[in-house]
Amino acid sequence: MGNIKRREFLKGSSAAAASALLFNNLSANSLISGPVANKSKSISGSHFGAFRAHVKGGQFTGVTAFEDDPNPSPMINALPSRTYAKTRVEYPMVREGFLKHGHKSDTSKRGTEKFVRVSWEKALDLVASEIQRVQKKYGYKSIYAGSYGWYCTGKLHNPQTLMNRMMKISGGYVGRIGDYSTGAAQIILPHVLGSIEVYEQQTSWPLVLKHAKNVVFWGANPLVTCQIEWDVAGHGAFPYLEQLKKAHKKGQIDVYSVDPVKNDTAMYFDSTMIKPKPNTDVAMMLGMMHYLHTTKQYDEEFIKKYTVGFKDFEDYLLGKVDNTPKTLKWASNICGVKEEEIKKFAQTLKDKKSMLMAGWGVQRADHGEQFHWTLVTLACMLGQIGVPGCGFGFSYHYSNGGTPSSHAPGLGGISTNINSSRQGPWTKYEPYNIPCARMVDMISNPGKVIDFNGRKIEYPEIKMVYWTSGNPFHHHQDRNNMIEAWKRLETFIVHEPHWTPTARMADIVLPATTEIERNDIEIIGDYNSSHIIAMKKAIEPVKESKDDYEICRLISKRLGYEKEFTDGKKTQMDWIKEFYNNSKMQGENKGIKMPSFEEFWEKGYVKFEVRKEDKNFTRYEKYRQNPMLHPLGTPSGKIEISSRVIKKFNYDDCLHYPSWIEPAEWLGSKESKKYPLHVLSPHPKYRLHSQLSNTWIRDLYEVNGREPIWINPEDAKKRGIKNGDIVKVYNKRGSTLAGAIVTNNVLPGVVKMDEGGWYDPKEPGKDKTMCKHGDVNQLTIDKGTSKLAQGNISNTALVEIEKYTKQAPEITVFDKPAIV
């Protein structure tokens, strides 16, 4: 395989970009093609996959995909561009007003004021003194360091863990619970299944291909999202997706997509489409279950043997609770899918062996807990849970879940655990965490008490936020509300390789390295752990960038705790060697022979094998065989269709059984008269959230320099919008420009605008100014899913669109901010 040039990549993808479809088939990933890799090149890895770096004259010039990657992502070709992007933060920077006035500066000027270059000594002294000042004056609960983001891979250079380790040593911080990806699901599913589930290994793909006759992608788009992984992406699911397509073409397996948008996965398989209105999947599933129940086709034996609480749900389903039977007609009136179509779908899933592969975007909605709970209940009524190749799965779309696990040891990394014989601030620190997606609500409302999973949480008064290599000014909802909240902070510190929208809002910006500029170690494949890879430093840090480890070490030194931070180790390589040798010891205990660290580092990787038994893994198989011997982690040991624990919480927005609760905004609400389009913001195809948006890869998908928005021809015609037009998308929360793609691949009344577009304000500092580029979180709602999970509801939002007839403003977010 060889690196392709930018022009060749663009030429090969131009038609696809115009139709917003890059991967018409999986072989499109062979855009990275050519001779077998030159194994002498320095090996490294990223969320997009492993690669060998091309270096010429000390410059990172290109990549060759790792030879064991079965389906490399073309996005790795943009990594050199990212390394040398115009947005690179090259030196330590301080906001001009903060440099002059410190924490007493005018905080309303964040995002508009110039930055001043300072020395590392000055910057580190400022950071250390601010940490000490705030902790001493207000206590550790005044600092939010629940830093969050996907920036880099590596067991040593994990920016969030390194910063949290440093902050814990210095006295503590407020942290976070959960994440933006699965905020609702990972709270509800332990009540229902006794496991977080969304990050668990799935029934193996070989068994799905062997046994399932129906495969349903329910709000899931693995063709796009499996390009990336939390660790180094291994892309192990793609060969199985190809096999599924062949089986589908031969008529051996039927493939369905339940989604208002015909996404890349649906296009690839030419799936049978079921298109409910956004946020109405629960109502549709209730209609399906009502049909199965009243026709006596549901699996009563499975319900009796493996679940508890069905009677409470049954009374709700049949209308005994609210005088509203959840009939096919009732469901159809809400979700917009015809009664006969709902009935046929339910019958098909019941008549044949079926695997329901559900995504996470559906639970990022108001009352999002209900989606996963209802789908599990539907699977229970179908009675196929624990049957090889059948049932349900919640992470086939994430990190190539379902790829058989290798017979491999674990690989540990740096943690926040402090190994010290002396007393220090860390010994007095008691963790204090808030639900991840309630960060801005916390900053805006100190002292507010919220419900969360059966307990009360009081928001502390936050004076400082510390963020490392993440971009909250991309991923958090209701951008204008967030900007207003940020004015309350005295100090905002950021480690960043790039001038992201977040870095531009900071008081102190410390330039951090990328993976290619440092040594590290990582696994390939979150679920299958196919390799341990040496991530080798290929170039020197750009300009004055430093590793996050080094930055935190130097700050810890100023705070008087360098020894605790480094654990007495002399070098970063000492850590990496320790991680590997611990893994090697685990391997020996499992009968796995591994080379010495020196041999491993020289070769660049260790490969592990997949055993036959690993290919035959069926989730919940042991539970189905003997629920007494293999109980679940719920209070009853069974699947809880009704939860006594949740019932005791007595929440009005999350009942003790799966139920349809009207969202804050949807196409059936009064709000839809003013804002008649529902905007969905799924994961982007050409980047990882906001990563790579500052590279040439942006040329593949932008429309007239703006983030694209899909709109149905019917809706476009009403508004006089044509393909390629620049449009204004707006609601009461904010507005943004976008580039229109008119397509039948989106349901009438629905528009799709991927999350991750960099926020580029038209008039920085002005209240509710329009984003020039396409930040969809100008439009989204900052509200918790319910009192149970308090997850984000990014896919619950109504908007209106109009053609933008003024002179389109110039995009400036991909240039450096003003610097003194």
Question: What are the tens digits of pLDDT across the range 446-498?
Answer: 999 999 999 999 999 999 999 998 999 999 999 999 999 999 999 999 999 99
Based on the number of CB atoms within 10 Å of its own CB, is 723 exposed (0-12), middle (13-18) or buried (19 or more)?
Answer: middle
* Total number of domains in the chain: 3
Q: Which amino acid is at 640?
A: E
* Integer Cα distance of 161 and 468 in angstroms: 9
* Integer Cα distance of 416 and 433 in angstroms: 15
Residue 84 has pLDDT above 50, yes or no: yes
Q: Let me know the angle formed at the C-alpha of 215 by 213 and 220, rounded to the nearest 5 degrees.
A: 180
Burial 529-561 (b: 16+ CB within 10 A, else e): bbbbbbbbbbbebbeebbbbbbbbbbbbebbeb
- What is the pLDDT at residue 13? 31
Q: Which amino acid is at 142?
A: S
Based on the number of CB atoms within 10 Å of its own CB, is 619 exposed (0-12), middle (13-18) or buried (19 or more)?
Answer: buried
- Same-domain status, 380 and 291: yes
Q: Which of 138, 150, 432, 696 is catalytic?
A: 150
Question: What are the tens digits of pLDDT across the range 289-302?
Answer: 999 999 999 999 99
SS3 646: helix
Question: What are the tens digits of pLDDT across the range 335-394?
Answer: 999 999 999 999 999 999 999 999 999 999 999 999 999 999 999 999 999 999 999 999
Which residue, 422, 402, 292, is CA-closest to 348? 292
What is the CB-side half-sphere exposure of residue 52 using CA atoms within 13 A? 20
Residue 35 lies in a domain: no
- Same-domain status, 249 and 189: yes
* Integer Cα distance of 729 and 681 in angstroms: 13
Sign of CA pseudo-dihedral 450, 453, 456, 462: negative
Which residue, 249, 217, 264, is CA-closest to 362? 217
- Same-domain status, 271 and 361: yes
Contact 211, 25 (CB under 8 A): no
| Terminal Cα-to-Cα distance of the chain (whole angstroms) | 45
Question: What are the tens digits of pLDDT across the range 568-615?
Answer: 989 999 999 999 999 999 999 999 999 999 999 999 999 999 999 999
Q: Which residues are annotated as a binding site?
A: 150, 364, 471, 475, 518, 548, 777
- What is the pLDDT at residue 458? 98
* Integer Cα distance of 169 and 452 in angstroms: 28
Biggest CA pair distance of the chain: 75
Contact 707, 685 (CB under 8 A): no
- What is the pLDDT at residue 30? 34
| pLDDT (mean) for 87-113 | 98
Residue 63 lies in a domain: no
Query: Which domain range does residue 713 map to?
Result: 670-803
Tell me the pairing of strands 93-95 and 115-117.
antiparallel
Question: Hey, what are 610's tokens?
Answer: 């997949």
- What is the pLDDT at residue 637? 98
Question: What are the tens digits of pLDDT across the range 502-554?
Answer: 999 999 999 999 999 999 999 999 999 999 999 999 999 999 999 999 999 99
Q: Which amino acid is at 449?
A: V
Which residue, 344, 377, 365, 335, is CA-closest to 256? 344
Question: What are the tens digits of pLDDT across the range 135-183?
Answer: 999 999 999 999 999 989 999 999 999 999 999 999 999 999 999 999 9
- What is the pLDDT at residue 421? 87
- What is the pLDDT at residue 41? 82
* Integer Cα distance of 223 and 202 in angstroms: 17
SS3 813: coil
Question: What are the tens digits of pLDDT across the range 180-202?
Answer: 999 999 999 999 999 999 999 99
Which residue, 768, 772, 766, 693, is CA-closest to 727? 772
Q: How sure is the predictor about 40, in pLDDT bands with cuts at 50, 70 and 90?
A: low
**What letter does residue 501 receive in the DSSP assignment?**
H
On average, the pLDDT of the chain sits at 94
Residue 459 lies in a domain: yes
- Same-domain status, 225 and 327: yes
Alpha helices in 19-64 (DSSP H): none
Alpha helices in 139-194 (DSSP H): 159-170, 185-193
SS3 766: coil
Sign of CA pseudo-dihedral 662, 663, 665, 667: negative
Alpha helices in 567-684 (DSSP H): 572-589, 597-603, 621-625, 644-649
Q: Domain holding 749: CATH number?
A: 2.40.40.20
Q: How much is the CA Rg of the chain, to the nearest whole Å?
A: 26
Residue 689 lies in a domain: yes
* Integer Cα distance of 154 and 801 in angstroms: 42
Q: Domain holding 203: CATH number?
A: 3.40.228.10
Question: Hey, what are 488's tokens?
Answer: 């309350």
Place of tokens 């609480």: 309
| pLDDT (mean) for 388-410 | 98
Residue 25 has pLDDT above 80, yes or no: no
Residue 750 has pLDDT above 50, yes or no: yes
Residue 86 lies in a domain: no
Please say which residue of 563, 589, 609 terminates a domain. Answer: 563
- Same-domain status, 397 and 432: no
More confident residue, 699 or 14: 699
- Same-domain status, 288 and 156: no
Alpha helices in 250-382 (DSSP H): 264-269, 281-294, 300-306, 310-317, 328-335, 339-351, 369-382
466 is catalytic: no
Burial 186-211 (b: 16+ CB within 10 A, else e): bbbbbbbbbbbbbbebbbbbbbbbeb
150 is catalytic: yes
- What is the pLDDT at residue 19? 36
Please say which residue of 593, 614, 649 terminates a domain. Answer: 649
- What is the pLDDT at residue 667? 98
Q: Which amino acid is at 226?
A: C
Which residue, 386, 269, 286, is CA-closest to 329? 286
- Same-domain status, 196 and 323: yes
Alpha helices in 264-322 (DSSP H): 264-269, 281-294, 300-306, 310-317
Contact 659, 369 (CB under 8 A): no
Q: Which of 148, 205, 218, 429 is catalytic?
A: 148
Q: Considering the chain, what percentage of its residues have pLDDT values greater than 90?
A: 94
Residue 68 lies in a domain: no
Q: 25-29, 59-63, 69-73, 690-694: lowest mean pLDDT where? A: 25-29
- Same-domain status, 208 and 316: yes
Question: Hey, what are 453's tokens?
Answer: 């999973």
Residue 26 has pLDDT above 50, yes or no: no
Please say which residue of 563, 583, 606 terminates a domain. Answer: 563
Around Cβ 382, how many Cβ atoms within 10 Å? 25
Alpha-carbon separation of residue 588 from 276, 409, 410, 581 (angstroms): 52, 9, 12, 10
Which residue, 419, 452, 433, 507, is CA-closest to 108? 507
Question: Hey, what are 169's tokens?
Answer: 């040593």
- Same-domain status, 360 and 271: yes
Residue 317 lies in a domain: yes
- Same-domain status, 149 and 229: no
Alpha carbon dihedral 651, 653, 657, 662, in 10-degree steps, equals 170
Residue 151 lies in a domain: yes
Residue 3 has pLDDT above 60, yes or no: no
Question: Hey, what are 777's tokens?
Answer: 């979180």
Residue 38 has pLDDT above 90, yes or no: no
Q: Domain holding 478: CATH number?
A: 3.40.50.740
* Integer Cα distance of 615 and 401 in angstroms: 13
- Same-domain status, 269 and 367: yes
- Same-domain status, 355 and 233: yes
Q: How sure is the predictor about 78, in pLDDT bands with cuts at 50, 70 and 90?
A: very high
